[in-house]
Amino acid sequence: MPIQNIFDQKIDVTKLDRSKLKSQKPCVLWFTGLSGAGKSTIANALEKKLHEMGRHTYLLDGDNFRHGLSKDLGFTDEDRVENLRRVAEVSKLMVDAGLIVISAFISPFRSDRQMARELFTEGEFVEIFIDTPIEIAEQRDTKGLYKKARLGKLKNFTGVDSVYERPKEPNLVLKGYDVKIELTINSIIGYLKKNATLY
């Protein structure tokens, strides 16, 4: 049903104005990968590095997001779709504020990631696939989630009884294992500089 009686409100201060004030090009760095792939660890280290470089950032993390805006959602396919819709809309608002947004979410479905990408202008959405095999992610299992899922105590767990759809054309593919995190961060920084996000 179309929304009625709601109109776009003109705002004089634009995304470009906010970006110029921060001397940076806003974007969203969308980390995707299995639970335990290393998304949160890499995202946190990246934000620290960008902060040291004087960049204005905000990190949206999957677990933290579900403590607040998505605390009413479970982990059915429908709830996952809604969770990612909220994440994408919040990311869009933060990009509009001129920030470099780091979103670290499993985001298992290609259609959801494409939906998110389409909210942004060309070059603003950077999909980063943390390519960690499930065997390695499961060996880590720092939160004990894979074990619970294998025992049937945790339903709809990505990689066990819920699908993860690997990105077909991500902007970056990075290993979340057997590599020093500094090298991973440098790869991301290098990509951003090459594509004029950092200058």
Residue 170 is encoded by which pair of tokens?
A: 């991500």
Residue 155 CB partners (closer than 8 Å, separation 6+): 75, 149, 161
Calpha distance 26→23 (Å, rounded): 9
- Note if 107 is an active site residue: yes
Q: Is 83 exposed, middle or buried (0-12, 13-18, 19+ CB in 10 A)?
A: buried
- Neighbouring CB atoms inside 10 A of 26's CB total 22
88: region left, alpha or beta (phi > 0 left; psi from -120 to 50 alpha): alpha
Distance of CA 81 to the CA centre of its chain: 14
Element (H, E) at 141: none
Among 19, 107, 111, 162, the one annotated catalytic: 107
| Residues 102/51, Cβ–Cβ less than 8 Å | no
Residue 130 structure tokens: 């943390």
Catalytic residues: 107
